[in-house]
Amino acid sequence: MTFDWMKIPYALLTLFIVLNYGLLLTALIQKIGARAGRRHGIPIWQNYVDLLKNYALRTHITHGVMYYLGPVFRLSGGVGLLLFVPSIYGSEMFSNLSFAGDLILALYFIFFGTLGMALGAGESGHPHAAIGVSRGLSQVTAAELPLALAVFAVALQYQTLSVTDIVAAQQGGFTHWTVFTNPLAVAAAMLSFLGSMMRPPFDVVLAPQEIPIGPPTEYHSSYLALMQTNRAIFPVAKMVIYMNLFFGGATSWPVFFVKVFLLYLFSAFVGVVFPRFRVEQSIRWFLIWAVPIGIAAILIV
């Protein structure tokens, strides 16, 4: 097997584009949320400033090895997710390091960051962090179920585990997209999407008004900055998966930007309309509404 070394700088280029896009996108979504509340909202470059400031803080303290590794795991979860799925279909430059079984790897990476975070936050020793982690893990696990079901349904439908092949099967007009050929699977996945985006109504884990801010309570300066970097990359990477699996992928960067933006906007709209769920409510909600849809999707396929 030959490996094309040129793929690595190309993948890093993707990472760079996605990082900037993610920073601007989250700021834009926050601005939209602020406008819904009739505020001006943050400046569009605020995320860059925050990031720079946090890297520039002069002191930081540690609580142990896992405390260091928590943000690192989290960031590698986001970066790994991005690197192993093709971001632009049909482009040699931006298909990244995708390979035949990358769908399974992607599913794993979605969970990986959360687990790393759990270990790191647990080591920080703050009771709020521990409560936040237990809430976060239970909610993410519940939200992951419908996604896994939907992914299996899609994999069965196209008889492949390669994201590239799934995108290829959806080309040729939007009626070929999974959202029209297998609407049940997409419905289940979109409900799970709401749960994993950490926006209202499922943001009790990170909500500052609840247990103050949850898992990252003890994280500060560069640790926090690493996590902020991840917070820019990870949602975009996740939305790339969704776009590839359900919405026909993207053949160029503009299409990519628009599709990811619309996906993010979907969760933001739900977020400004609905109030926050408690964890046990949200788990029940996922199990009652999203999981049956996912099972039905598999049965129909």
Partner 1 sequence: MRDEDTLVRRVPVKDELKKRVVKGPDGLEFEVDPIQDYYCDARPEVRPGSYVKIVEDLFNWARSESLWILGFGTGCGAIEMRPLMTPRFDAYRYGIQWRPTPRQANLFVISGYLSVKTLKRAIRSYEQMQSPKYVVGLGSCTINGGMYWDSYNTIKKLDEYLPVDVYIAGCMPRPEALLAGFEELKRIIRAGKAEGANLYAQNFEWYKANQKRVIHDWDMPDYNW
Q: Which stretch binds partner 1 (CB under 8 A): 169-177, 183-191, 209-217, 292-300?
A: 209-217
Question: Does residue 208 bind partner 1 (CB under 8 A)?
Answer: yes
Instruction: Compare residues 98 and 228 and give the one whose CB is closer to partner 1.
Output: 228
Indicate the DSSP class of residue 217: G
Binder to partner 1 among 203, 218, 264, 293 (CB under 8 A)? 218
Integer Cα distance of 241 and 103 in angstroms: 9
Q: What is the widest separation between alpha-carbon atoms in the chain?
A: 58
Q: Which stretch binds partner 1 (CB under 8 A): 58-66, 114-122, 182-190, 235-243?
A: 58-66
Integer Cα distance of 217 and 206 in angstroms: 9
Binding map of partner 1 across residues 222-261, x = CB under 8 A, - = no contact: --x-------------------------------------
Token readout for 110 is 């979605």
258 class by beta-carbon count within 10 Å (0-12 exposed, 13-18 middle, 19+ buried)? exposed
Cα 30 to Cα 17, 45, 116, 122, 264: the distances in Å are 20, 12, 26, 29, 11
Question: Does residue 288 bind partner 1 (CB under 8 A)?
Answer: no
212 three-state secondary structure: coil
Please choose, from the candidates 45, 12, 11, 14, the residue with its C-alpha nearest in 3D space to the C-alpha of residue 28: 45
Please choose, from the candidates 157, 181, 12, 168, the residue with its C-alpha nearest in 3D space to the C-alpha of residue 89: 168
Q: Which stretch binds partner 1 (CB under 8 A): 74-82, 170-178, 213-221, 286-294?
A: 213-221
Other Cβ atoms less than 10 A from the Cβ of 91: the count is 16
Instruction: Compare residues 2 and 209 and give the one whose CB is closer to partner 1.
Output: 209
Count of residues engaged in binding partner 1, rule: CB under 8 A: 30
Binding map of partner 1 across residues 61-90, x = CB under 8 A, - = no contact: x-----------------------------
Instruction: Compare residues 173 and 208 and give the one whose CB is closer to partner 1.
Output: 208
Binding map of partner 1 across residues 7-46, x = CB under 8 A, - = no contact: ---------------------------x--xxxxxxx--x
Q: Which stretch binds partner 1 (CB under 8 A): 93-101, 189-197, 216-224, 269-277?
A: 216-224
Structural contact between residues 18 and 236, judged by C-beta atoms closer than 8 angstroms: yes
Chain contacts with partner 1 (rule: CB under 8 A) = 34, 37-43, 46, 49-50, 52-53, 56-61, 208-209, 212-213, 216-221, 224
